Amino acid sequence: MSKDNPRAIHLKDYRVPPFLIDRTELHFELGEKATLVKSRLSMRRNPDSDEGDAALQLHGDTSLVLRRLQLDGKDLSVSDYQRDDESLTIAQLPDNFVLECVTLIKPQENTSLEGLYKSNGMFCTQCEAEGFRKITFYLDRPDVMSVFTTTIVANRQDYPVLLSNGNPVEQGEQEDGRHWCRWDDPFKKPAYLFALVAGKLEQVDDSFTTQSGREVALRLFVEPQNLDKCDHALASLKRSMAWDEQVYGREYDLDIFMIVAVDHFNMGAMENKGLNIFNSSCVLANPATTTDAGFQRIEGIVGHEYFHNWSGNRVTCRDWFQLSLKEGFTVFRDAEFSADMGSRTVKRIEDVSLLRTAQFAEDAGPMAHPVRPASYIEISNFYTLTVYEKGAEVVRMIHTLLGAEQFRKGSDLYFERHDGQAVTTDDFIQAMEDASGIDLGQFRRWYSQAGTPVVEVSDDYDAEQRRYRLKVRQHCPATPESDSKQPFHIPLAVGLLDEQGNDLDLGDGQTTKILHLTEAEQEFVFEGIDSQPLPSLLRGFSAPVKLRYPYSAEQLVFLMAHDSDGFNRWDAGQRLAVDLMQGLISDYQQGRELVLDRSLVEAYTKVLSDRSLDPAMVAKLLLLPSEAYLAELAEVIDPEAIHLVREFVKRELAQALQGLLMDAYRHNRSEGDYQLNADAIARRSLQNAALSYLMTLEQPRILVLAQHQFASADNMTDQLAALSLIAHSGFESERQQALSEFYQQWQQDPLVVNQWLSVQATSPRDDSLTQVKALMAQPLFDLTNPNRVRALIGAFCGQNAVQFHRADGEGYRFLADQVIALDKLNPQIASRLLTPLTRWKRYDSRRQALMRAQLERIMAGELSKDSYEIVSKSLA
Ligand code: PHE
Ligand code: ZN
């Protein structure tokens, strides 16, 4: 970074805004060379501000060309205001005034995908967090809420559809081939929820009748070639609307709800009021092109954005430190929605897996921050797993502490008390406390302290006294913001199993009890216990902590078979496999021969033979801990050892369980009768898990099975699973053939091409970096399309540890090259891509030096704030 280093912004410096904007009238003239933006802001001094006659400081990006500025109808000249890189300042203003402003912007040249930009010929916006300041001068902060009226003028031929927030109120034609449309949004909102779309779009219509009997028009806008991929999103939307009424009593508030799909998008989707804009990969689906996981993801994201209408839009954030107020709560809401739509246990397993690998790693790295960060340099860097996923876990713990009923009272109070306001995470907790009468004082530390607490449990049983005791200790490792942590309030859900595997009654017929950990060390006593029980700890993953208890392999196998808590049954299997694999990793490192302990084979035999189990659960139970999870748990990460050991265990299991795996494959495979329901999805997941084991045997007859599945599949789940197994195998000509056939079949569909790129990027074969570079050189690759970048570069660097961490450091050099190039085009994507390099301290000294050298090389150039923050914090 050569210029002055960017400054950090601190929560403690928050001041209420000195000015407010009551009305915002916007007028856009969209053009092929440039777009003219006229704004008319009705403003006044904020009576709650203590800054007296402060000057007005509007946010505005350097790229804005200011054409005209008027105060109460009179032109201001350059001497009446001051402009710098980020703002425009006007002094000596009256208490009430109207400010009019004309700016010129160039959406065609905007590759950052923030503000107004173009994607495949259509105009669209992305304003969260601070994109509005790239459109016009404004108070671009979430505690300034205004009603908006937006007029869009554009050429009718190329932009027949003109959309913005709220309701369409007027439209008309001009003589020059242009037409216009005016939208009015009656709900006050911050600028980050503003949206505009203009393009040649087709629409699919539907409708929803709310619980109070209002009819809401639902509209999904897509490019014409995607019309056959709309049904699932619309069905998901209707389920979301009904669910939010049933579970939270929340009804939709406008007469129209629109979703637009765009190909160029930095994130998954955006909850703009009444006009959600989605990354096409998170909304478009049909069975031929979309996997089961894809369908489920879309349902979850459609729900997420819809739920934001209350948790985010009607009640929004006071400042960006409060981001988890809307995101943590909304992720919790969408997770519960998905759990209710499908399998609760499977959804929980998936969410916890993500948290324990990616969020725990973030918490242990240089970017660790509390759910409510205390400072940031670039807010875009804080759309993190901590704010989203850990934030959702924190809300889940409140739900656990209060119980469903009190939690609902709390959320009702929160929405009622703060409707139309911009508030803080503390306001949220206060509402929960006030409604339930439960003290969350100590619990608030979850918002202010970073790091993953470690909970160590030991126990003893006194047969004579019939007394069982749990001793629990908690501590939390140091993180950048603080070395010493105060104890957290941790709800630890516990069950006790007797020798038959039945739950003991822990009082009043309760079989799971919540223990409240509030001190560094505590003891919990259970009386009247007739024989030594086996504890089932942290049921349902009741808190985002690392739990330690010295389970024996035998005890874990027992829990896998008997625990009444589905999550813990799965987790016992994970613990068993982790223990064995950690032993094997060190065997490998010491040059000892690898031998797989029988306990895992026995456990898996039971799982595979038990026909009473849900196939989705069986598939989850069979899935070995991921390389990323093993890495997170390691003292010093050895990517090669982790990869080889995991492959070894998989192959050994496949050898020992061939017959059962083949049965599972045959039994669950359905040919030609595609269905998308929980049962069919479960069967496909087990079928493909079994095939993945069998393929490790490298037998031609199994290759034939995979090839047959690849060729005959009537759905993407089966086709892609087969493709990736063949493509990652050692069958050279077959893998090339499958890859090229797949490309031939799907080259017209960009979303499928992305999956094809990812399959190649995640290949553990030694030539994968070379392949990735070759694919980047092809015309289909495009550095300005984030989905392409994520599918190829992101997948290689983030999901192919063994190749990214090649001993020669070429993976690191490659990533640094890409970050340097991308940072000029799209800083948000560049800085996100950096994540794997930031974890350099977790590796051996050779790799550390290689990774550090690349970070320093990046640091030496001119950098965006986004990348500067990540790199400088990583090197600190
Ligand atoms: N607010 C969006 C969501 O989580 C995410 C997002 C953030 C999208 C920033 C774009 C830009 O639903
Ligand atoms: Zn969100």
The string of pLDDT tens digits covering residues 285-339 is: 999 999 999 999 999 999 999 999 999 999 999 999 999 999 999 999 999 999 9
DSSP characters over 815-849:
HHHHHHHHHHH-HHHHHHHTHHHHTGGGB-HHHHH
pLDDT average, residue stretch 342-353: 97
DSSP H helices, 383-489, are 385, 391-418, 425-436, 445-448
Q: Are 257 and 237 in contact (CB under 8 A)?
A: yes
| Identity of the residue numbered 516 | H
pLDDT average, residue stretch 680-691: 98
* The ligand 1 atom nearest the CA atom of 265: 10
pLDDT at 5: 86
The string of pLDDT tens digits covering residues 482-517 is: 999 999 999 999 999 999 999 999 999 999 999 999
pLDDT at 524: 98
Spacing, Cα 732 to ligand 2 middle (Å)? 43
Annotate 456-475 with three-state secondary structure.
Answer: EEEEEEECCCCEEEEEEEEE
With a cut of 70, say whether residue 812 has pLDDT above it. yes
pLDDT average, residue stretch 712-719: 98
pLDDT average, residue stretch 397-424: 99
Share of the chain above pLDDT 90, in %: 99
Q: Are 223 and 174 in contact (CB under 8 A)?
A: no
Which domains does the chain possess? 9-200 (2.60.40.1730), 315-447 (1.10.390.10), 454-550 (2.60.40.1840), 748-875 (1.25.50.10)
Using CA atoms, how far apart are residues 234 and 220, in angstroms rounded to an integer? 7
Q: Which of 124, 128, 384 to mutate to test the pocket of ligand 1 (most atoms within 8 A of CB)?
A: 128
Rounded to 5 degrees, φ, ψ at 596 are: -85, 125
With a cut of 80, say whether residue 445 has pLDDT above it. yes
Residue in 239, 537, 512, 234 with CA at minimum distance from that of residue 400: 512
pLDDT at 2: 46
Spacing, Cα 279 to ligand 2 middle (Å)? 13
Using CA atoms, how far apart are residues 444 and 838, in angstroms rounded to an integer? 29
Return all residues near 834 (Cβ < 8 A) that are at least 6 apart.
Answer: 815, 819, 858, 867, 870, 871, 874
DSSP H helices, 459-614, are 553-562, 566-589, 598-609
Q: Which of 267, 301, 337, 386 to mutate to test the pocket of ligand 1 (most atoms within 8 A of CB)?
A: 267
Ligand 1 site, residue 267, Cβ cutoff 6 A: yes
pLDDT average, residue stretch 727-736: 97
3-state secondary structure of 440: coil
With a cut of 60, say whether residue 769 has pLDDT above it. yes
With a cut of 80, say whether residue 519 has pLDDT above it. yes
Which residues are known catalytic residues?
A: 305
Share of the chain above pLDDT 70, in %: 100
pLDDT at 672: 84
Q: Are 319 and 332 in contact (CB under 8 A)?
A: no
pLDDT at 52: 86
Ligand 1 site, residue 271, Cβ cutoff 6 A: yes
* The ligand 1 atom nearest the CA atom of 131: 11
Residue 763, Cα to own-chain centre: how many angstroms?
24
With a cut of 80, say whether residue 3 has pLDDT above it. no
The string of pLDDT tens digits covering residues 145-176 is: 999 999 999 999 999 999 999 999 999 999 99
Ligand 1 site, residue 305, Cβ cutoff 6 A: yes
Ligand 1 site, residue 323, Cβ cutoff 6 A: no
Residue in 833, 872, 785, 814 with CA at minimum distance from that of residue 117: 785
| Identity of the residue numbered 546 | K
With a cut of 60, say whether residue 1 has pLDDT above it. no
The string of pLDDT tens digits covering residues 612-671 is: 999 999 999 999 999 999 999 999 999 999 999 999 999 999 999 999 999 999 999 988
Using CA atoms, how far apart are residues 282 and 262, in angstroms rounded to an integer? 10
Q: Looking at ligand 1, which residue's alpha carbon is closest to its atom 8?
A: 270
Q: Looking at ligand 1, which residue's alpha carbon is closest to its atom 5?
A: 270
Residue in 708, 827, 815, 712 with CA at minimum distance from that of residue 761: 815
Using CA atoms, how far apart are residues 309 and 328, in angstroms rounded to an integer? 14
Q: Tell me the pLDDT band of 787, cut-offs 50, 70 and 90.
A: very high
Ligand 1 site, residue 126, Cβ cutoff 6 A: yes
* The ligand 1 atom nearest the CA atom of 388: 4
Q: What is the mean pLDDT of the chain?
A: 98
Using CA atoms, how far apart are residues 191 and 41, in angstroms rounded to an integer? 12
Angle, CA 317 vertex, CA 331 and CA 440 arms, to 5°:
70
Ligand 1 site, residue 389, Cβ cutoff 6 A: no
With a cut of 90, say whether residue 61 has pLDDT above it. yes
pLDDT at 33: 96
Rounded to 5 degrees, φ, ψ at 180 are: -145, 160
Q: Tell me the pLDDT band of 600, cut-offs 50, 70 and 90.
A: very high
Cα distances from 415 to residues 216, 305, 408, 412, 655, in angstroms, run 21, 17, 11, 5, 57
Q: Are 332 and 324 in contact (CB under 8 A)?
A: no
Bridge partners, 147 (sequence order)? 23
Spacing, Cα 427 to ligand 2 middle (Å)? 19
Bridge partners, 778 (sequence order)? none
Spacing, Cα 383 to ligand 2 middle (Å)? 9
Q: Looking at ligand 1, which residue's alpha carbon is closest to its atom 9?
A: 128
Q: Are 631 and 638 in contact (CB under 8 A)?
A: no
Total length of the chain = 876
Angle, CA 30 vertex, CA 28 and CA 32 arms, to 5°:
160
* The ligand 1 atom nearest the CA atom of 383: 7
